Structure 1
């Protein structure tokens, strides 16, 4: 049976890891490349703030070819879509027909991905779509995956939360209203070991840093300016 040549959109975190785990077991797909967006200004993984050196170590442990998508520090949507579109076009020329993601339940994001990819003739795949996030996290841990929190929204967490290794009691310690997998962007993780890894990724815990960002413009100015939101980061060092 001919398999669909597929690239996986790798975030470096737990959702990507377990989604890739399931996809590698699906006989319909041949996973031949991992793709990650990088903030070229800081040389770190977009959103997660992970050093590129650790990302490369992760790729080498998984042993799947990889490439980066370099984004400027603060790209607008038009520039972002241009860069992603050019990347997808190159992958299509390499024979890729499918693009996989670790999304779980964000319907708007899924629709956006499917629409953008369909314009270029690529099919989107979501291996862990609509899974119960509490059960999925438990399964992640039961399978032997290991992950550490690298950034978290200060609305829900203080600096003590970042740098925490996820364990069986992780969900019990989460504030009310926080998704167990952080699917609403409450926190992000770095996965450093598990059944898809040929070896654990070694790292040291560095400093913790707080940064504030402007809220995205929702187009509704009736309530006046939006307060900035804060993020705690834990720097991991190779």
Structure 2
């Protein structure tokens, strides 16, 4: 079945890609959203150039859905629906998501696909997040690019996602950040043909376009 992977550039999506490789799933494209104004993802703060380098190192094409600044939820959904419609015309069978256990998010994604013939697919759904986090840290290299202020202070932004990071997480923070506590950018691992060299820049505090959540984003930049 021809499958598109909803792509954040982070650890769960990378782990899901590895699982699909192991299962022989035909992944034909990565799909991600960026700001039409900045070319960056809203939560991760990762720029389009790094996503392109990442996709190239993975040997996969990537599709960018551009979201206007301060877009309403309806505008956001319309932009993704346009991509879904095109996938349906191309004969794509399903879109894979790397969600682990948040039922509301899964139900929302399923509702957005109901009007199409495209199925949702969850290759890592139900996995234990502690064991997944440690298995990921053993096999991949990633940088923590954003942390949610109510869960983690800004010192966690810019750190490698490794055993030390996991050991320092406060009680109640999911080891995979499944509740939005933190986000990562993956730059090497078993699904990559070659590493994506990166360096960290400054950390900035931002407020996402919706809600009152404060996020500390550490800029990641190409290292060469």
Aligned length: 222
More moved, 184-193 vs 107-116: 107-116
The aligned counterpart of 1:11 is 8
CA-atom RMSD, angstroms?
A: 1.3
CA contact (8 A) 1:36 1:67 kept: yes
In the TM superposition, residue 158 of structure 1 has moved relative to its aligned partner by 2.1
Q: 2:70, 2:175 → 1: CA distance?
A: 29
Partner SS state of residue 43, structure 1: coil
Contact 1:214–1:229, Cα closer than 8 Å, also in 2: no
> What pairs up with 1:107-186 in 2 under 5 angstroms?
107-142=103-138, 144-186=139-181
Poorly superposed stretches of 4+, deviation over 6 Å: none
Find out whether 1:229 has 2:213 as its counterpart.
yes
Tell me the distance in 1 between the aligned counterparts of 2:82 and 2:193.
32
* Max Rg structure: 1
Provide the secondary structure at the position in 2 that maps to 1:209.
strand
Partners of 1:213 and 1:46 in 2: how far apart?
7
Deviation sequence 1:187-234 (CA, Å, 0-9, x none): 100001000001111112111101234763xxxxxxxxxxx3311110
2:77 aligned with 1:93, yes or no? no
**Alignment partner of 1:197 is 2:192:** yes
Moved more, 51-60 or 162-171: 162-171
* TM-score (ref. length: structure 2): 0.95
Q: Report the alpha carbon displacement of residue 117 of structure 1 after superposing the two structures with TM.
A: 0.9
The 3-state SS of whatever aligns with 2:33 is: strand
State the TM-score, normalized to the length of structure 1: 0.90
Q: Which runs of 5+ in 1 are unaligned?
A: 217-227
Separation in 2, partners of 1:198, 1:214: 35
2:28 aligned partner = 32
